[in-house]
Structure 1
Amino acid sequence: MEDSNLPTLVRLSIGGKKFCTTIDTLTRREPDSMLAAVFSSRHTVYQDSEKGYVFVDRDGKHFRHILNWLRDGVVPTLTDSEYSELIREAEYYQLLGLIEGVSSVLNKRKEDEKSPAELTRTDIIKCIQSERDLSLVDFSFACLKNVFFSRANLQCAKFRDVDAVGSNFHNATLRECEFTGANLRGALLAGANLQSANLQDASLIDCSFCVADLRSAHLQSADLTDANLEGANLEGANLKGAKLSNANLKGANLQRAYLRHVNLRDTHLEGAKLDGANLLGAIR
């Protein structure tokens, strides 16, 4: 250093709050800051008469965070309003690295607020066990593998592109729900009310829909390979482009269902009701 008489230990009074640190801490991390300039003897250091404290006429509320930044390079965890106050102090002391660090944290918070929160299995189970009404809830894109939704009220809930492999929707209310692109492979939906539900492009391989209510459901391009729909009510359902290889539709109600050009060759239709179904071009 230019002035060998400067003590290694520095006592500071920031608006009356007392701090003790070293010249190395004040100068090393932010060499272009006002603090570094002052304590590397480029400016005159003024000390008061009380035990040699250097007085700075600033609010000392956040100065401990400034010292910790200079020591460790870690941005503290604060509220947004506290961050605004800290940035104001950092600007005074010309601590560009701290300003950049706080700004980065604030930007990340804004991005996180825009992003939908991820739901864990634990979150869902807690909701259901507390018997909350889950109608209209948006579960889209969540991982819901093996979650227990039995008897839950999920009317008009959204399950777009969820991964719900093996989940249990037994006797659940799923009227007008949206399952577009969902992966429900092996899920249990027996007895569920799926009236007017949208299951387009969903993977329903090996699902159980026994005696489920699928009236007017949208099943366009859904994969129902090996699915069990025995006794299900599919009256007025749209199955355009659906895959029904080895599906069990025994005793199912397919009256007025849309089955144009659907391949029914490997489908089990014993006892199924097909009155008024649109079977133009269907392969049987």
Structure 2
Amino acid sequence: MKGFQSDLSSAVRLNIGGKKFCTTTDTLTQREPDSMLAAMFSGRHTLCQDPDKGYVFVDRDGKHFRHILNWLRDGVVPTLEESQYSELLREAEYYQLLGLIDGIHSVLNKKNEDDEFHTELTRTDIIKCIQSEKVRFRGVNLSGLDLSKLDLSYVDFSYACLKNVFFSRANLQCAKFRDVDAEGSIFHNATLRECEFTAANLRGALLAGACLQSANLQGLEMFYVYMLYLFLTILMFGINTCIVSTCLLVISTTVIY
């Protein structure tokens, strides 16, 4: 009977952005003792509670809080879509859950390694293929490959998965990147003259020092690409080079408008 009363006294009711949860002070304080949640329910702070039902309100999105509670209970990182991991990571950072943050990063790093493992061709395969007169890698998964310094001019990469590919200093003149997923790829100092990037995903791609003269960038988020290009060019080459590079970028994109 005493144990039952003890459990009731340690029960905590939470209202996270309108979603309601019930847990215990032990769950909130033991696994992550340095977290904001542990500090809140350590007994050292006065909490603002609903006078009727005793809910403690926290002004955060409650969508992923069940995953946070399950982590605190079991220490297991949930299986989610990649975009959902980004959302959960923001919540974990807010609550200062260092173990969960490390766990999410480990899952994402493992996923990237698996993506690279499933790459359909190697750098050696690519070198052999580009000896041919007309080269097409349409719809092929080349994620994570190092294709730096290769002559890939006129190659058709349309619809390919090119996540985290290294194209640094590669010659990609007149290459086709229609509808590719090139998120996080490195085009540092690459020649991209007259390339087609129609509807390509270049989110997080590095374009500093790349020549984009007469490239077709239709369908891209131009402001995002432009600002990333501008910032990294200034950072790596200084303001004078940036002025010249920016002029080339502006000239190259006028074909869209």
- Fold shared, TM-score > 0.5 on shorter chain: no
Higher relative contact order at CA 8 Å, sep ≥6: structure 1 or structure 2? 2
Higher Cα Rg, which structure: 1
Calculate the TM-score normalised by the size of structure 1. Answer: 0.39
TM-score when scaled to structure 2?
0.43
